[in-house]
Amino acid sequence: MHVDLFIHSAAQLLTLASDGPKRGVAMEELGIIEHGAVAVKDGLIGLVGPTSEVRGQVTAAEEIDAAGKVVMPGFVDPHTHLVFASDRADEFEQRIKGATYMEIMAAGGGIMNTVRATRAASLDELVAQARERLDEMLAHGTTTAEAKTGYGLDIENELKMLEAIWILDKAHPIDLIPTLLGAHAVPTEYQGRAEEYVDLVIDEMLPLVVQRGLEELWGRKEEAPAAPPLFCDVFCEEGVFTLEESRRILTKAKELGLGLKIHADEFSSLGGAALAAELGTIAVAHLLCTPPEEMALLAEAGTIAVLLPGGTFGLGQRAYADARGLIAAGVPVALGTDLNPGTCWCESMQLIAALACRFMEMTPAEAIVAATINAAHAVRLGDQVGSLEVGKKADILILDIPDYRHLSYRFGVNLVDKVIKGGGGSAVPSATLRTGLTTGLVVGGLHLA
Ligand code: NIG
Ligand code: FE
């Protein structure tokens, strides 16, 4: 087979091969091939195996010697609020001085603070600010990411956010999966009239944004399966959206054919996890105070728990989600950054894995599973990314470490040597990548940095 790229001699090649999301003890299995090799053809994985076996089967346009290094699939970040304007450094300081996240939100700051800035920003400004974050994500090994709206909170601005995501998906190597989060907060102009805002989301915002998002931006007509999955998410939380409001919004989203997600049990337990199981939600995020009986419901429904230790760390809290309890209950666990300006401005899945090991007692292997194959399933792309298997996208990391456990063990620096984004997105000229990137980036076989 003549291939575009042949990566060989890896100390460890982690395939993450799996039929579906991994649960229980399977979350420890990385599918390690020592002296491993992977061959890339037309943006897809052509062959994977021991170097001694693969070498004889390929001639390659380009070779990379990964001796002494770990080769693994690119990270999938299944939960980000990537697109936003400005920052909330002032609130960070207020929290250090004692104010809580929910107090700041109740006083009109928090999410609304970013909503005001995002509404005031032009589409171009939103794209430019988010692009810098995407460059950091790519440099740190993320090759696919979910991106939520939710800082517009009116039809015009939610559409503007969706358009920014669409532009970035096209313009940047990272593939983006859009999620509508019109129910991220009740905007100030609807204060005291939450029910009316929920009606607006259900009757107007969701149908319109779905139509414009799928038909105009992603060009999906009936039956065209090529469009990316589109999700709907709700922030189900005391002082934000009640369980009943969350149920109404997600039920409507389901009718419209959207994949479902929910932010549940971040600060209080309202029954959001049980609702997720009941509605067949693909992923449920946060789960900091989920009762054991609701964990059992998630396991039964096959809902993926997306844990976000960066948010807990970012808020300086001490109590993390019970990853051990979820894994023991049989819930597939994924990890995400939750990248957002309020609780976690962090682009690096490497740091998230390091936090998961220390504060949620996940093993280094479980953290890698959670950040790749399980995260891919959490955005319904488990058949395309998240593992190095023949036919999947050639989204590959070469890490400058001799053993997979160094990922999580070492933190605070970038362990990525090269990112190969072969399977999608279009190549960006190197000039648009931030200067100072030390990562070698290969896009579609093309070296960019
Ligand atoms: O996932 N919890 C709700 N949303 C985000 C925070 C968003 C913000 O504060 O801007 C989260 O933590
Ligand atoms: Fe979030």
Could you report the per-residue pLDDT of 141-179, keeping only the tens digit for each? 999 999 999 999 999 999 999 999 999 998 999 999 999
How far is the centre of ligand 1, averaged over its atoms, from the C-alpha of 213 (Å)? 23
Tell me if 263 CB under 6 Å of ligand 1: yes
End-of-domain residue from the set 377, 411, 435: 377
* CATH code for the domain of 437: 2.30.40.10
Tell me if 81 CB under 6 Å of ligand 1: yes
Tell me if 266 CB under 6 Å of ligand 1: yes
Identify whether residues 368 and 428 lie together within a single domain.
no
Q: What is the pLDDT of residue 442?
A: 62
Identify whether residues 65 and 82 lie together within a single domain.
no
Q: What are phi and psi of 141, to 5 degrees?
A: 105, 5
Tell me if 340 CB under 6 Å of ligand 1: yes
The pLDDT of residue 411 is above 90: yes
| Integer CA distances (angstroms), 112 to 84, 126, 165, 204, 260, in order | 11, 16, 20, 21, 23
Q: Considering every ligand atom shown, identify the ligand nearest to the alpha carbon of residue 112 and give its number.
A: 1
The answer to whether the beta carbons of residues 423 and 4 sit under 8 Å apart is no
Closest CA to 64 of 428, 394, 368, 376: 394
How far is the centre of ligand 2, averaged over its atoms, from the C-alpha of 370 (Å)? 17
Tell me if 114 CB under 6 Å of ligand 1: yes
Tokens of residue 51, six digits: 């170097």
Domain count, the chain: 2
Average pLDDT over residues 419-430: 59
The pLDDT of residue 447 is above 60: no
How far is the centre of ligand 1, averaged over its atoms, from the C-alpha of 33 (Å)? 39
End-of-domain residue from the set 353, 377, 401: 377
Residue 222: pLDDT band by 50, 70, 90 thresholds? Answer: low
| Integer CA distances (angstroms), 312 to 338, 352, 356, 359, in order | 10, 11, 11, 10
82 part of a folded domain = yes
Identify whether residues 212 and 287 lie together within a single domain.
yes
Q: Which atom of ligand 1 is nearest to the CA of 113?
A: 10
Identify whether residues 33 and 7 lie together within a single domain.
yes
Average pLDDT over residues 39-59: 97
What angle separates helix 364-371 from helix 349-359, to the nearest 10 degrees?
A: 140
Identify whether residues 198 and 269 lie together within a single domain.
yes
The pLDDT tens digits for 228-259 are 678 999 999 999 999 999 999 999 999 998 99
Residue 289, class by beta-carbon neighbours within 10 Å (0-12 exposed, 13-18 middle, 19+ buried)?
middle
From 343, 344, 345, 352, give the residue whose CB has the most ligand 1 atoms within 8 Å, as the site to mutate: 343
In sequence order, what are the beta bridge partners of 71?
13, 398
Q: What is the pLDDT of residue 423?
A: 60
Tokens of residue 301, six digits: 């429904």
Q: What is the pLDDT of residue 422?
A: 80
Tokens of residue 159, six digits: 């559409």
Give, as one character, the DSSP assignment of residue 73. E
Q: Which atom of ligand 1 is nearest to the CA of 101?
A: 9
Tell me if 84 CB under 6 Å of ligand 1: no
Identify whether residues 9 and 152 lie together within a single domain.
no
* CATH code for the domain of 183: 3.20.20.140
Identify whether residues 35 and 107 lie together within a single domain.
no
Cα gap 265→277, rounded to integer Å: 14
8 part of a folded domain = yes
How far is the centre of ligand 2, averaged over its atoms, from the C-alpha of 356 (Å)? 17
The answer to whether the beta carbons of residues 398 and 414 sit under 8 Å apart is no
Give, as one character, the DSSP assignment of residue 426. -
Tell me if 111 CB under 6 Å of ligand 1: yes
Number of residues in the chain: 449
How far is the centre of ligand 1, averaged over its atoms, from the C-alpha of 312 (Å)? 11
Q: What is the pLDDT of residue 378?
A: 98
Q: Which atom of ligand 1 is nearest to the CA of 286?
A: 1
Residue whose Cα lies nearest atom 8 of ligand 1: it is 342
Identify whether residues 358 and 414 lie together within a single domain.
no
The pLDDT of residue 9 is above 90: yes
Q: What is the pLDDT of residue 429?
A: 38
How far is the centre of ligand 2, averaged over its atoms, from the C-alpha of 172 (Å)? 22
Q: Considering every ligand atom shown, identify the ligand nearest to the alpha carbon of residue 86 and give its number.
A: 1
Q: What is the pLDDT of residue 398?
A: 96
Residue 185: pLDDT band by 50, 70, 90 thresholds? Answer: very high
> In terms of C-beta distances under 8 Å and separation of at least 24 residues, what long-range contacts does 197-201 make, across chains too?
198/241, 198/245, 198/248, 198/249, 201/249
382 part of a folded domain = no
Per the prediction, the chain carries an average pLDDT of 92
Q: What is the pLDDT of residue 265?
A: 97
Residue 54 domain boundaries: 2-73+387-448
Identify whether residues 218 and 343 lie together within a single domain.
yes
Q: Of 117-131, 209-223, 232-246, which range is least confident?
A: 209-223
Q: Which residues contact 324 (CB under 8 A, 6 or more apart)?
A: 360, 361, 362
User: Amino acid identity of 31?
Assistant: G
Tell me if 158 CB under 6 Å of ligand 1: no
Residue appearing with tokens 């609020």: 81
Closest CA to 146 of 308, 356, 15, 369: 308
Q: Which residues contact 163 (CB under 8 A, 6 or more apart)?
A: 123, 217
Residue whose Cα lies nearest atom 11 of ligand 1: it is 338
Query: pTM of the prediction?
Result: 0.95
Average pLDDT over residues 432-448: 46
How far is the centre of ligand 1, averaged over its atoms, from the C-alpha of 343 (Å)? 6
Identify whether residues 142 and 175 lie together within a single domain.
yes
End-of-domain residue from the set 319, 351, 377: 377
Identify whether residues 23 and 114 lie together within a single domain.
no
Tell me if 314 CB under 6 Å of ligand 1: no
Residue whose Cα lies nearest atom 9 of ligand 1: it is 342
Supply angle C-alpha 208, 209, 211, rounded to 5: 65
Identify whether residues 288 and 140 lie together within a single domain.
yes
443 part of a folded domain = yes
Tell me if 311 CB under 6 Å of ligand 1: yes
From 133, 151, 184, 340, give the residue whose CB has the most ligand 1 atoms within 8 Å, as the site to mutate: 340
311 part of a folded domain = yes
